[in-house]
Amino acid sequence: MQNTSPLLQVEQVCKSFGTNQVANEVSFSMAKGEIGCLLGPSGCGKTTLLRVIAGFEAIDKGLVQINGKVVSTPILNVPPENRSIGMVFQDYALFPHLTALQNIEFGIRGKTSRLRKEKVKTMLDLVGMAEAADKYPHELSGGQQQRVALARALAPEPELLLLDEPFSNLDALLRDRLTVEVRDILKELGTTALMVTHNQHEAFSVADKIGVLFYGTMQQWGNAYDVYHRPASLEVATFVGDGALVTGVVTGPGQVESGLGLLKGNLSLPCESGCEVDLLVRPEDVLHVDHAQVQARVLHKSFRGPNILYQLELPSGEQCRALVSSHHNHTIGDYIGIFPEVDNLVVFPKNLTIQP
Ligand SMILES: Nc1ncnc2c1ncn2[C@@H]1O[C@H](COP(=O)(O)OP(=O)(O)OP(=O)(O)O)[C@@H](O)[C@H]1O
């Protein structure tokens, strides 16, 4: 029979440092082979949660299970080396006096010499570093060092790989490439992995599941599409992606009248007619149509190659942004026609505030 129990289960975990509560009833789970990403503003508790799962931090309440085995409770903290986890850090953390090959081999001490050699060769091939086997870390680029660090963490075949901002020291192009490569490698091996990142694009391209943390609270745990298009809270809506909130009034089922005109789509909340809401408007949902009814004034523009991001003032006095093909090159102060095209009408009760 197929094992359907989660590989990682985090249940109502609480963790404080003194009076600072860094994890507040955090719960989520990951199936075997899934890749998860923890996103959230600086200081929201991402690294602490990763360290809890790794066994570097004890918890005050709740439970962590890895592959069915309880590893953390308030009275139990299985040490990291007995959790079957691998870790990759931001700063590579390779041993400087060992070659790439020796660094990878270090993680699989205890196996026979033949098995070790085979494993190291497989790992070097997997991360595309066979040519650099005998180089020392200082002879490798940042991206190469991070590949070796990944190979070292994966060599002992951990049940769970934890990655803390693994690409943040790399330039943007290399980071994009390595993100895709790492996803392919993890998928090929079927390794379950949880990664902390500041970078939303990275999370979108690597993760099956994204967790958005705010002030120690897991606001949403879901796939990238849902986190972006069906944000579970105001915090997620404003943190993930680019968007503005404009005032609206619900005028019927799936219908909101706003400063952008009448919008029709799937309402995220069951609101009655007449209900005042804040409506999330993403720049790509605002189309530029010359003779549209709503004419908005260009307050600011930012050229991005294929498109221009316009900051606009609506006739209502509210602002939103529009991502428009850069062939439409308008001047600050111009009025341009806009038309909203939104499938998912993400709304929040008017005047909600983000609570610390
Ligand atoms: N060992 C510690 N002792 C006391 N406070 C700590 C400790 N580790 C973390 N904190 C505090 O816990 C909070 C969360 O920190 P954490 O590093 O988990 O956040 P983060 O979301 O990973 O932040 P960043 O994105 O900036 O790395 C911060 O207020 C931090 O100062």
pLDDT tens, 236-287? 998 998 889 999 999 988 899 999 989 998 888 777 888 899 999 999 999 9
Give the HSE-up count for residue 206: Cα atoms under 13 Å, Cβ half-sphere: 32
Verify whether ligand 1 is closer than 6 Å to residue 251 (CB atom): no
Atom of ligand 1 at shortest range from CA of 38? 21
Which runs of E-coded beta strand occur in 167-265?
A: 192-196, 209-214, 217-222, 244-252, 255-258, 261-264
Residue 13 CA to residue 5 CA, distance in Å, equals 19
pLDDT of residue 236: 92
What pLDDT sits at residue 2?
56
Q: What architecture is domain 242-349?
A: Beta Barrel (2.40)
Atom 7 in ligand 1: which residue has the minimum CA distance? 17
Give the ligand 1 atom nearest the CA of 45: 18
Give how far the C-alpha of residue 327 lies from the chain's centroid of Cα atoms, to the nearest Å: 32
Closest CA to 194 of 13, 53, 342: 53
Cβ(44) – ligand 1 distance below 6 Å = yes
Adjacent-strand bridge partners of 196:
38, 164
Domain 8-238 CATH superfamily: P-loop containing nucleotide triphosphate hydrolases (3.40.50.300)
Q: What is the pLDDT of residue 109?
A: 75
* Contact assessment for residue 274 and residue 250, using Cβ atoms and an 8 Å cutoff: yes
Nearest to 241 by CA among 283, 188, 286, 304: 283
pLDDT at 314: 95
Q: How far is CA 214 from CA 18, 211, 235, 294, in A?
A: 19, 10, 7, 36
Ligand 1 pocket mutation pick from 22, 60, 91 by most atoms within 8 angstroms of CB: 22
| Cα–Cα distance measured from residue 101 to residue 106, given in angstroms and rounded to the nearest whole number | 9
Q: Is 19 touching ligand 1 by the criterion CB < 6 Å?
A: no
What local confidence, expressed as pLDDT, does residue 180 receive? Answer: 86
- Residue linked to tokens 């080396």: 81
pLDDT digits (tens, 9 = 90+) for 109-127: 777 778 888 888 888 888 8
DSSP string across 246-310: EEEEEEETTEEEETTEEEESEESS---TT-EEEEEE-GGGEEE-TT-SEEEEEEEEEE-SSEEEE
The Cα–Cα gap between 256 and 231 comes to 18
Through-space distance between the first and last CA atoms of the chain, rounded to whole angstroms: 45
CB within 8 A of 127, min separation 6: which ones?
147, 148, 150, 151, 181, 185
Q: How many CB atoms lie within 10 A of CB 151?
A: 26
* pTM given for the model: 0.88
CB 197 less than 6 A from any atom of ligand 1:
no
**Distance (Å, rounded) from C-alpha 84 to C-alpha 8?**
12
Return the DSSP state at 133.
Answer: T
CA of 22 to the centre of ligand 1 (A): 7
- Report the C-alpha gap between 32 and 34 in whole angstroms: 6
* 2 token code pair: 């197929």
pLDDT of residue 284: 93
Contacts of 168 (CB under 8 A, 6+ apart): 90, 175, 197, 198, 199
Cα 228 to ligand 1 centre (Å) = 26
Regions in the chain scoring below 70 on pLDDT = 1-4, 92, 351-356
Where do the CATH 3.40.50.300 domains begin and end in the chain?
8-238
Residue type, 341: E
Spell 153-183 as b/e; 16+ CB within 10 A means b. bbbbebbbbbbbbbbebbeeebbbebbebbb
Half-sphere exposure of 77 (CA within 13 A, CB side): 14
